[in-house]
Structure 1
């Protein structure tokens, strides 16, 4: 079980199958997934993909958390993740995805900061990485706000991603 990572505005709790339909609905918005490779156009494959991500076992302290606002705790607004890079590591990836109505309000940065704290202080990771589509200006901005440093490019999934890294010792 993953710990709650709540902030002043947000409830950040372990993602469960109860969040499945909300996750699928968010991903059906082509603006939300336009920078991310995935099975978004195939409903069966999409459901299987998200369900697997929710139910699979991750190393201790890693996984997905759903995000809700304290002001409206029943409304799913997105998720954050801390998972082995490309499914097996050794690096650990940090990521975020929000419904469009939550964009531009600092929610991704706030939730990701809580996740960084958990990664370094609780899990004891030495660093986290993020691969972000080069055109995804909003996510690149979040990475920079977290203090992540640009490392170069990665071409996973046939797309060009910018790779960022945040090292625990850089925060001291």
Structure 2
């Protein structure tokens, strides 16, 4: 199964390609963007290799990274991959350029990934690790229905079980 393309009211959410590398690098160079996320952001070669490896995968069928675009403009990305690229849990995540913050874009782009994960892939649960000081990502997680369940190192592990997601659709 290839990664699907999602269209929302405002966005195109498509599988990330190698041609997205420069936009991803530029986004991650914005200090506020990676403030709460561990990674190789300070070393150009390692940073580039990290992005290229994450774009390539390999990921299990139907999982991976998706680029978020509006009118052809790169806004950021969302992911649905094994936690920390290793699993076994499946995590959802998002990262946006600073100029795209505060407009509901992360929530709008991540919502179809939840549906895909639960309905198409039949995942029993989806998690997200979020720094407890990252108020914006905490709001996105809450809007998506993810609930803080436990501490995982410096992050709070949020989770949403398939049955919870389905029940929220029946209301």
User: Taking structure 1 as the reference length, what is the TM-score of the superposition?
Assistant: 0.94
- Specify which of 90, 93, 113 is matched with residue 92 of structure 1: 90
User: Taking structure 2 as the reference length, what is the TM-score of the superposition?
Assistant: 0.94
Deviation beyond 3 Å, 4+ runs, structure 1 = none
**Which residue number corresponds to residue 137 of structure 2?**
139
**Which residue number corresponds to residue 59 of structure 1?**
60
Counterparts of 1:47 and 1:89, CA distance in 2: 23
> What is the CA-CA distance between 1:77 and the residue it aligns to?
0.4
Across the two proteins, how many residue pairs are aligned to each other?
165
Structure 1 unaligned regions, length at least 5: none
DSSP-derived class of the 1:31 partner: coil
Q: CA RMSD, aligned part only?
A: 0.8
- Specify which of 157, 163, 166 is matched with residue 169 of structure 1: 163
> What is the CA-CA distance between 1:86 and the residue it aligns to?
2.2
Structure 2 unaligned regions, length at least 5: none
Are 2:22 and 1:21 equivalent residues in the alignment? Answer: yes
Counterparts of 1:91 and 1:49, CA distance in 2: 21
Cα displacement string for residues 11-67 of structure 1 (whole angstroms, at most 9, x for unaligned residues): 000000010000000001011000001111100000000000011210001000000
Counterparts of 1:11 and 1:23, CA distance in 2: 16
